[in-house]
Structure 1
């Protein structure tokens, strides 16, 4: 059996974002969508969020709504509350228990069904985290430092000293995917190197340890399901981020939403047009209204016409509040029953532990470590 040299991983990660590779990934993603429509039982997705703050409408349109769609289509769905990943770039966990429980409420409010999807917390699944030891032996310090995910996370910390946890962050992400043998990961194009790192780890494990039957690998090669939703910017026209305070949280009430949208950045031209390049702030608000009403942003702009920023914000406020009203009502009911939310998380933890224990047993068998 020929093993892939460790130093080749940097080239593989870079290649994953080349123009030719992106075209292939887009084509394959479209084919996967067609296969899901025919036989969703072939797929298991793994996705999740870090509980660093409240989930917001950017999360909703960027990934949460898609999870509900895939779940309802019949795809086995595993959702991670990545509590251990909070400390990759922070000195403490903050009010992490409260945030994790609220995250469960958000998931259920938008339509995640705990009988069809598994919601679990990173720290509650020891076997998942134990997979890090053999996985770390499959990567080098140099390739981790070249990893785009590590570079981006390090830049976001303001050049503070890199922790060992941050350096090995891509391997943690690989373990999250591989422990449950997910073969499909919903991602944006900027996350493709992270997924390629997971594929590298899976391939190297099987090349190094293999099985009695090499035709049946221990780990599948997870594929990308690319998001079709355009990025929703924050209310200040920059990337939507909890740390910037430019978001509309899922749990915010209608009045708070109205106040925030009223302060949103637009421009001085009263005639409203959809032009993402020349008028990104105005176009972002139009796109938000379009997502909430399932309409064309150009048609919405034409409808507003010379109504200016005030007319635009009034329309966006109405669209957002109407769309999220049932989600907010459901969320309020759920938050009032903390016991139920904890029971959902504990049941999900139990399911995830059963999956992780079985995978770790296979890994020990492959490595000859069954005593």
Structure 2
């Protein structure tokens, strides 16, 4: 692929979709071939949209035996914010969500950006491999440019795609679970990996320093918020994973529906109702059309009752486990410290390899 076409979204999506289906089959036969990098920014508590959009799939993949690296991207909080907020509390809250959802600290490596210096040091050689114009063409950076108005964009925001490339490449992850909107970031990482090898390569030239990471596209559709728009912490329309059953019930009572008492699954014409039907279906592991048929003429009240029961039943064991974890902060600290140590060992080895390739081992 030429670098000029690295952000050709339509072509990239079609190619990634085909390859993602092939990878799913390969995961079932030989999971040891893959190392996955995934993670989140600690900007607040995870909600059920996060769970069904990515977290549930991470647990599935890790349980298949795929080596999994989970990044708590604390440095990336300040790409588009003036401060970090209550960052320590949010980091450990995120860790509790991960573990409660089923990620096993003995099988996965959970670590924080700021605790792995060698990862961040890779930013320097990587930045030399991209141009200002390429970074500004990245959809996330371009959107930030359009949204900031007269406010200057930070250098960290401009180089956000390169930082993400460092996240992926430091551990030589060859698979990254993403949504289609994140494909340009992954393509940037692929370009950087290739350019590094073209410019420096290995001393023995037997294989590239970095593998070209591939995308594992998310299968789950977007879970909308309680107001029918995208679920977002900033919109206050979420149900957090760690909320109580009573809190969940109160929030779902104010969820947007419509005046038609007959419940159907019709995402195009009835997006709010269909979102609630889909949420119940996800929790119950059933087809949304069948769930809608079960409610029938029960109206919005019947729909909300079923959704509330389904969500609370689905998340009851996760919430119970989360409460145990939060009550033992020492355990959470040990889990993160162990993950940081493992990530540092990997990052240090990769940085040594990079410096050797660059003839900078002194």
Report the CA distance between 1:22 and its aligned residue.
2.4
1:254 aligns with 2:276: no
2:341 is aligned with 1:365: no
TM-score by length of structure 1 reads: 0.95
Post-superposition Cα deviations, 1:250-298, rounded to whole Å, max 9, x if no partner, equal: 1100001001111011111111110000011100000000000011111
Q: Tell me whether 1:334 sits opposite 2:304 in the alignment.
A: no
1:150-161 pair list within 5 angstroms: 150-155=141-146, 157=148, 160-161=151-152
Q: Does 1:274 align with 2:265?
A: yes
Does the 8 Å CA contact 1:12/1:196 hold for their aligned counterparts? no
Match of 1:200 in 2: 191
The count of residues paired between Structure 1 and Structure 2 equals 362
Distance 2:316 2:284 in 1: 13
1:281-339: per-residue Cα shift (whole Å, max 9, x none)? 10000000000001111111111111111110110000000000000000000000001
Aligned residue for 2:135?
Answer: 144
**C-alpha separation between the residues in 2 aligned to 1:221 and 1:285?**
39
Q: Which residue of 2 aligns with 1:102?
A: 93
The match for 1:37 is: 28
Whether 1:13 and 2:20 are equivalent positions in the alignment is no
Contact residue 144 and residue 153 of structure 2 kept, 8 A: no
Name 2:204's counterpart in structure 1: 213
Rounded to whole Å, the distance in 2 between the matches of 1:363 and 1:265 is: 53
| 8 Å Cα contact 2:37-2:175 kept in structure 1 | yes
Counterparts of 2:282 and 2:212, CA distance in 1: 33
Gaps of 5+ in 2: none
Which ranges in structure 1 are unaligned for 5 or more consecutive residues? Answer: none
| Shift in alpha-carbon separation, 1:156–1:119, aligned structure 2, 3 A | farther
Secondary structure at the residue paired with 2:7? Answer: helix
Are the structure 2 counterparts of residues 157 and 110 from structure 1 closer, same or farther at C-alpha, using a change threshold of 3 Å?
A: farther
CA gap 1:243/1:189 in 2 versus in 1, 3 angstroms: same
Tell me if structure 2 keeps the 8 A contact 1:13–1:147: no
1:91 aligns with 2:82: yes
**Residues 1:155 and 1:105: Cα distance change in structure 2 (over 3 Å):** farther
TM-aligned CA deviation for residue 14 of structure 1: 2.4
Distance in 2 (alpha carbons) for counterparts of 1:158 and 1:177:
31
Q: CA RMSD in A?
A: 1.2
The aligned residue for residue 163 of structure 1 is 154
Change (3 A) 1:340 1:156: farther
TM-score, normalization by structure 2: 0.98
CA contact (8 A) 1:46 1:79 kept: yes
